[in-house]
Amino acid sequence: MLDASPLICPIDGQSLRLDGQRLCCPSNHSFDIARQGYANLLPVHKKHSRDPGDSKNMVEARQRFLDSGIYNGISDQLNTLVQSVCGAYNNLTVLDAGCGEGFYLDRLAKTVSTGQTSLKAYGLDISKWAVQAACRRNKQISWLVASNAAIPCQPHTFDLIICAFGYHKLEWFNHLLKPHSHILLVEAGPEHLLELREVIYPEVRKSELSPFEHPDFTLLEHRLQTKDLTLNKQQLSDLLLMTPHLYRASHEGKEKAANLESLNVQIDVQFRLLSKIH
């Protein structure tokens, strides 16, 4: 169910209000609420392509992969870190910036709802296909089509912003956060899916995360999660299809991956929990 209270017009920045099945601002810019329940707040002049973000096929592949349970451990660690700070809140307002098809936010909402904290959750993604899938996953969350580069929400709205494997701009997140609130970044470590990368690329470079330094945030916690997994043929196909590797890999590399019946891979994920200083 869409809660419009923190939303602003992506064209002129004025507050939006619900008017039937539309969101309207005082200047009469209006945005339809789709029959699935989400709002598209990505103006045409900010799309940069006809169909930005993940394609329908990529979203369907990610749904199959995540629903198989392979990344449940990542989701569980995310939930644990959120619960470590949400005890300070009776009411927690959360944004998942780059929510994809809603896997992580849906599992978080269901976990937090069993405790004492009341959760108000928002998820946004630039892909309309991802947001449509998220709506089907959980209708109690407010879902938006929008960009992480210009999030259409009021300043000082959120207690927590989550960004899992997505593009993050801390200066913009800082603008949206309440005082003394938090950010949780979930990022791929240098060994993440290394074995698959060695199949599809002629040369693999490992990139270490830089030490965290930012004038507006302190690093509260830095956790690592590593795990060895065996992926079957369907899981390998979905994993390749759901990531940017699909576009970066050569034709030969993708053929080699397609011919594999299974592959042992390492999950290497880093979690950084940040606290806003002011």
DSSP string covering the chain, please? ----TTBB-TTT-PBPEEETTEEE-TT--EEEBPTTS-EE---GGG-SSSS-SS-HHHHHHHHHHHHTTTTHHHHHHHHHHHHHHHTT-SEEEEEEET-TTSHHHHHHHHHHTTSS-EEEEEEEES-HHHHHHHHHH-TTSEEEE-BTTB--B-TT-EEEEEEESS---HHHHHHHEEEEEEEEEEEE-TTTTHHHHHHH-SS----PPPPP--TTEEEEEEEEEEEEEEEEHHHHHHHHHHSTHHHHS-HHHHHHHHT-SEEEEEEEEEEEEEEE--
Task: Count Cα atoms within 13 angstroms, Cβ side, for 126.
Answer: 18
The pLDDT of residue 206 is: 81
- State the binding site for S-adenosyl-L-methionine: 71, 101-102, 192
Q: Percentage of the chain surpassing pLDDT 70?
A: 98
The pLDDT of residue 264 is: 97
- State the binding site for Zn(2+): 25, 29
Is residue 247 pLDDT above 90, yes or no? no
How many other CB atoms are there within 10 angstroms of residue 121's CB atom? 25
Each residue's pLDDT tens digit, 189-225:
999 999 999 999 988 888 888 889 899 999 999 999 9
The pLDDT of residue 201 is: 92
Task: Give CA separation, 139 vs 131, 173, 274, in Å.
Answer: 11, 25, 29
Q: Are 226 and 268 in contact (CB under 8 A)?
A: yes
What's the whole-number average pLDDT of the chain? 93
Q: What dotted CATH number matches 17-276?
A: 3.40.50.150
What token pair was written down for 55?
């394609």
Mean pLDDT of the region 121-125? 98
CA distance 23 to 35: 14
- State the binding site: 25, 29, 71, 101-102, 192
